[in-house]
Structure formats: structure tokens, C-alpha cells
Amino acid sequence: MERLRIATRKSPLALWQTEHVARRLREAHPGLEVALVPLSTRGDEVLDRSLAAIGGKGLFLKELEVAMQRGEADCAVHSLKDVPMTLEPGFALAAILARGDPADAFVSSRFEALDALPHGARVGTSSLRRQALLRARRPDLELRDLRGNVNTRLARLDGGEYDAIVLACAGLQRLGLEARIRARLDPPDWLPAPAQGAIAIETRDGDAATHRLLAPLNDATTRRCVEAERAMNRALHGSCHVPVAAFAREGGSGLELLGLVGSAGDGRLVRVEVSGHDPDALGREAARGLFAQGAGELLGLLDLPAPGAIPG
């Protein structure tokens, strides 16, 4: 009997996503034996420092890729928004599943929406993108760090450390916690992280047998949308640890891509909207439009002194 071993992180969300992939694979290939290989990654272990501070790049992938290289696993399941814009050489995304809910969620027990929060309310998120969007809409809020898996973050909200937190709708829905969503934070005003809500399966480049097994799980429309979002972020030299947001959908005139770059410090935002047919070209066009509006300075890529810092 044919067998496929899937490497996965051990958080409840990662395990749900990998079980979901395993179910889909058993449906697509009756008789296929699918086994999970749960592993711990550096991203799961280091919780006391921000992800950006400990390097960010591929923090949730490395140990899973090592297992594939050693022949201990055939593929690995990831939240695509946590996958670096450029994969390690020798690896490929063999399938990207149909996207779940891409939106962010406002979560609070006492307040029903972001605009209902009182002046100075404490909001928890360590995402620079979410911080920038919050600052832009509500400069009065007190933003506080909040890391850990979805259940940990909810427990800290319930413990009273925050008045509200922001999480991904997809994660809450997958964990059966949809009732915690008090309000959706939807496009076009509020944009998700590039590829939020999409699950990807990574495998070794040359592993044709695994590619063949995974191919039926790929969703072509989702892949085009997330390719455009990730191409924009790549052209901005971004990772999942920069204040960058993007959301694409397939519309009447091809792909429509909304993008923004913000500043977690002061809530400045620049936005772009482009449409076209080639995901990669569209992503690069969006990045050019954002750079033209000063995105480089917001991302700290150019060493332009802030206006107030220029000596008189």
C-alpha cells in the first residue's frame, strides 16, 4: 500500500489543518495510507521575543524541511501566510488548497466592534500589519504585544490583559471558535496578510511521486490570488513580519489586487489597487505603486531621515 508522511507543527491549528489535508488526500486516493509527523519548530518555542527580532524568516518551516531532507517526511503542511516569500532551494509548494475565510476578526467579550472601544482601550496583537491598521483607524488605542497560538491568545484576553484582540477568522473557524468573532475586519478597508486563510503543502522539488499525490488538492484560483499577494510582498522585500497587507480576488476583469503598507508606529498607510491577468506582474505593479507613494520609507528600506529629524 502507498504511504504518505506529512510533517506538521503541533499547535491545535496546525494539527487541524494537517488532519484536514490528510482527509482530503484519503478521499482523493482511496487506499492511500496517510500518517502525521508532528514536530516542534523554533517559531513555536521562542515566545518571549517578537518573531521579527529572532529573524522571522522560515521560523515555522525549518524543522519540517529538515525532516523532508532526511527522508523522515514526504511533505509538510503550512499556513501559507507564515511561509517566506522565497522558499529554500530544493523545495516547492506542490498544492495550495481552496482558500478559507481571509478576513481578520475583532475578538472581545465586552465590546462589539473596533469603533465601540473606549478611548485608550488595550488591544493585543504582535502583528505589525494589525498594529498599523489599528493605529490608522484608532490612534488613541493602547497596543500591547500578544504572541502564542490562538488558544493562548484567547486565554490571555479572557484573563483580562486586553479589552480586545485581533485574530484571523480562518483560524477561529477551524478550531470551532467561530462564536468568538464579534466583528469581521474585511477588505477593502481592512486587509489581511498576504495569503491569509490559505493552506499550502510543501514538498521536495524532485519528488515526483509526492507531487502527483498532492496535485488534486490544488485550487487554481486560490493559487493565482495568493501568488499575486506574495509577489507584491516579495517585491517590497517583505516577509510575514512587516506591516504589509494584500488581498486579491478573481473578478470580471481578471485578478483584482488591493495592497497596503503601513507604519506600526504612527498609523500612516499607503494603499494601491490594480487589476490584470498575470499574478507575478500584478504583484510587482502593486509594489511599484506603493513605493511611488513612499512605502520604502515606511518599511525602513531607505535611510531617509524623518522630516523632524533633519537638523535646522
Ligand X SMILES: NCc1[nH]cc(CCC(=O)O)c1CC(=O)O
Minimum Å gap between C-beta 199 and ligand X is: 6
Q: Are 145 and 49 contacting, i.e. CB atoms less than 8 angstroms apart?
A: no
Minimum Å gap between C-beta 188 and ligand X is: 19
Could you say which residues in the range 72-101 bind ligand X, by CB under 6 A? 79, 81-82
Give the amino acid at 71: G
Q: Any contact of residue 196 with ligand X (CB under 6 A)? A: yes
Give the amino acid at 30: P
Q: Which is nearer to ligand X, 174 or 204 (CB)?
A: 174
Give the amino acid at 65: E
Q: Any contact of residue 197 with ligand X (CB under 6 A)? A: yes
Minimum Å gap between C-beta 161 and ligand X is: 17
From 24-32, 167-175, 219-227, 303-311, span contacting ligand X (CB under 6 A): 167-175
Give the residues across from 3 on adjacent strands. Answer: 33
CA atoms of 16 and 150, how far apart (whole Å):
12
Number of residues in contact with ligand X under rule CB under 6 A:
10
Could you say which residues in the range 8-27 bind ligand X, by CB under 6 A? none
Q: Any contact of residue 241 with ligand X (CB under 6 A)? A: no
Q: How far is CA 111 from the centre of its chain?
A: 25
Q: How many CA atoms does the CB half-sphere of 207 hold within 13 Å?
A: 22
Written as nine digits, the cell of 239 is 516577509
Q: Which is nearer to ligand X, 59 or 272 (CB)?
A: 59
Catalytic residue among 74, 82, 101, 104: 82
From 108-116, 168-176, 229-237, 281-289, span contacting ligand X (CB under 6 A): 168-176
- The answer to whether 82 is a known catalytic residue is yes
* Helix, strand or coil, per DSSP, at residue 105: strand
Helix ranges, 10-127 (H): 12-28, 42-45, 62-69
For the beta sheet containing 3-8, the strands, ordered from the edge strand earlier in sequence to the opposite edge, are 33-38, 3-8, 75-79, 199-204, 91-96
Q: Which is nearer to ligand X, 191 or 204 (CB)?
A: 191
CA atoms of 172 and 158, how far apart (whole Å):
15
Q: Which is nearer to ligand X, 43 or 289 (CB)?
A: 43
Q: Any contact of residue 170 with ligand X (CB under 6 A)? A: yes
Q: Which is nearer to ligand X, 44 or 278 (CB)?
A: 44
CA atoms of 280 and 271, how far apart (whole Å):
18
Q: Which residues are catalytic?
A: 82
Please report, as ranges, the residues that interact with ligand X according to CB under 6 A: 79, 81-82, 150, 167-168, 170-171, 196-197
